[in-house]
Amino acid sequence: MGNNNYWSEIKADFDELDGFESGDDIIKCISVDAWKTDDPDEEGLVIAKVILTKSGDSGVVYIDNVARSNDRAQEVIKDILRKIKA
């Protein structure tokens, strides 16, 4: 893996269910956001979404393919997957 300095910060603290209908199988959707600089005015970018379904399945939807090979992004994603499966 690599690209560890691609983003200055990566966070996942937004549970986003907007856009999903109550009949959908997805019960949790957590956005993984990243910032390229330390500028407090910079808007974060969604780089991935971690989902959990009613049946207990989980998965990752990558918005930015760099997140697939970025160690820091993968650590955040794996931590989310651990928490939502607990």
The pLDDT of residue 19: 52
**Which pairs count as long-range contacts for 39-48, CB under 8 Å and 24+ apart, including other chains?**
44/9, 44/11, 47/7, 47/10, 47/73, 48/73, 48/77
**52, 81 contact by CB (below 8 A):** no
The pLDDT of residue 71: 94
What's the whole-model pTM score?
A: 0.82
The pLDDT of residue 23: 59
